[in-house]
Structure 1
Amino acid sequence: MREFVIVTDSCCDLPEDYIKNNNIPYVPLTYRFKGKEYLDDFGVSLNYRDFYEGMKNGEIPQTSQANPDAFYKVFEPILKEGKDIIYVGVSSGLSGTHNSSNIAKEMLEDEYKEAKIAIIDVLTASLGQGLMIIKALEMKEKGSSFEEIVNYLEDTKMYLNTYITVNDLNHLKRGGRISSAAALFGTVLHIKPVLTLNNEGRVIPVIKVKGRKNAIGKLAEFVHNKLENPEEQIITICHGDAQSEAERLRELILKEVNVKDVIINHIGPVVGTFGEPGALSVFFIGKHRQNHVIDIDI
């Protein structure tokens, strides 16, 4: 049986130590911040706090998807060693990076006829994507085959739940998610939307909540209602420089369920550009992912 390697991209937002300790190859996306271009490299080139502080002061970052050449440079050395690849990548509904990975795959499969390259579009990003990498590595460690891991990821991704709340409705307005009138009205009334990623991996509003405290409580409620087999599950929480609120969310979740582990980390710069300072997200495997709006009238 050929060896295989789990590969990802920098949108997974796993802790840098986890990436290093598990020798996970990754394709970095890039972003431009304060006139300088950076690799998205898990906070090494630019500290997360400095990034979010800049955004709070009005800096607007610009991101670039990974191109096929970036994938070629990461994939090709692995194939040269006679190993196959399972790439666990950011949602195709959020980034053209997925398309770049497929172009690189086609190029390399022409050169390496025996190679297998599986492209897994997890239809989410950040630590939801990271959670799937953790699962894949656990399975590999236990001796699961290439095909078993690929099948698990493809089957499970539709049960990978993503719930997000943001502080600033004006950021959603700039991204075209809500109208200017809705942003003004919601800001005056302290409305905080809860968002999810649907079956196409695209962001949709789910429900409106009044006040940040209630929004965080709603995230915990979604976990309580949709999590299955909690003792076997890892929950991941990520935040846009809102560590204390991420820890509060963990406390609320653990009041009702006992889980295998809870991992908290920052949202990285590329994903954070589309989130905002104060964004808070939770990811878990449970009932089928939400694909519809409960209440969008803001």
Structure 2
Amino acid sequence: MKVKIIADSASDLPKDLVEQNNITVLPLVVLDGMNEYKDGVEITPKKIFDDMREGKVYSTSQVPVNDFIDLFTQIAKDKQECFYPAFSSGLSGTYNAAVTALEEVKKSYPEVNIVIIDTWCASMGLGHVVLKACELAVAGLSAQQMTPIVEDYAKKMVHVYTVEKLEYLYRGGRVSKTSALIGDTLGIRPALTVKEGKLVPVHKVRGEKKLYTTMLDMVAQKAGEDLSGKTVTIAHGDDIDNANVLKKMIQERFSCKNVRITTLGAVIGAHAGPGTQAIFVEGIVE
């Protein structure tokens, strides 16, 4: 693989896929009001979810600019060619931090060969995009050659989420306090998607079975009813039982054999909360 692939921790890629594809992952930052932790390095998703169940509030921050500068400088010194599909700029300052860092490194190393794109994707939606870049790198494409292919793939990536409590979205500033209070009192759960790089509620549903059916309907609208040739990823917030329920529903409805289950990372989990379920797959409608 000629081109080195870089990712950030908001891609929520499982460790085995990171190692198999030799991906360099830069961690975002999780904050608890007193301390800062590197996502996936100094704090685990399990810790985040357990604490949130007890009422603890976490916030998050982008990959620090200096972390990008250090990595990009080493890449320039090694004369490597690199490609970095970044976490959506609509949800984080990470993409802009990377662009700023690259501009700084170019002052000393004008020949540095790093391509950065804003994917407008998150969690394993971003993870799928990173893996697509790895596939193209193995096929021998340059960073410039893979850019339009990966950008097109990212535009088609389907993100469908639900959260266990609207309170968690309120804590992260995604919904109003009133909406969260009323919704949680009435047992209403949202079905959300990512649109133009931002998290957007699409439906409000009562009842888990109806909710999951609604989520699958949203997937079908963007990806069709036949997913037999595609990989679907379910990412969950410490709720493997319901992830398995969703997996069975997906396999039965979409004739999809390749359904992968993984855990949300600490940064995404800090906003979505325990009990979150998210579905990701390449769509056919942009």
Fold equivalence (TM over 0.5): yes
| Structure 2 counterpart SS, 1:109 | helix
| Structure 2 counterpart SS, 1:230 | coil
1:169 aligns with 2:166: yes
Q: Which residue pairs with 2:24 in the alignment?
A: 25
Gaps of 5+ in 1: 290-298
- In 2, Cα distance between the equivalents of 1:93 and 1:34? 23
1:115 aligns with 2:112: yes
Q: Which residue pairs with 2:198 in the alignment?
A: 202
In the TM superposition, what whole-angstrom CA distance separates every residue of 1:154-211 from its partner, at most 9, and x where no partner exists? Answer: 1222211111101111222333333333223222321111111112x01111111112
In the TM superposition, what whole-angstrom CA distance separates every residue of 1:222-276 from its partner, at most 9, and x where no partner exists? Answer: 2233225734322121111111111211111111223463222111111111111
Q: Is the 1:12–1:125 contact (alpha carbons within 8 Å) kept by the matching residues of 2?
A: yes
Gaps of 5+ in 2: none
Cα distance, 1:152 vs structure 2: 0.8
- In 2, Cα distance between the equivalents of 1:178 and 1:33? 21
TM-score (norm 2): 0.92
Cα distance, 1:73 vs structure 2: 1.6
Q: Which residue pairs with 1:255 in the alignment?
A: 252
Q: Which residue pairs with 1:105 in the alignment?
A: 102
- In 1, Cα distance between the equivalents of 2:93 and 2:220? 33
Q: Which residue pairs with 1:151 in the alignment?
A: 148
Q: Is the 1:224–1:253 contact (alpha carbons within 8 Å) kept by the matching residues of 2?
A: no
- In 2, Cα distance between the equivalents of 1:242 and 1:96? 29
Cα distance, 1:35 vs structure 2: 4.3
| Structure 1 counterpart SS, 2:275 | coil
Please provide the CA RMSD for this pair.
Answer: 2.0
Q: Which residue pairs with 1:141 in the alignment?
A: 138
- In 2, Cα distance between the equivalents of 1:70 and 1:169? 33
Q: Which residue pairs with 2:125 in the alignment?
A: 128
1:1-298 residue pairs with structure 2 within 5 A? 3-33=2-32, 35-41=34-40, 44-199=41-196, 201-228=197-224, 230-259=227-256, 261-288=258-285
- In 2, Cα distance between the equivalents of 1:32 and 1:206? 29
- In 2, Cα distance between the equivalents of 1:193 and 1:52? 19
Q: Is the 1:237–1:262 contact (alpha carbons within 8 Å) kept by the matching residues of 2?
A: yes
| Structure 2 counterpart SS, 1:232 | coil
Answer with 50-59 or 226-235: which moved more: 226-235
1:260–1:148 CA distance, 2 compared to 1 (3 A) = farther
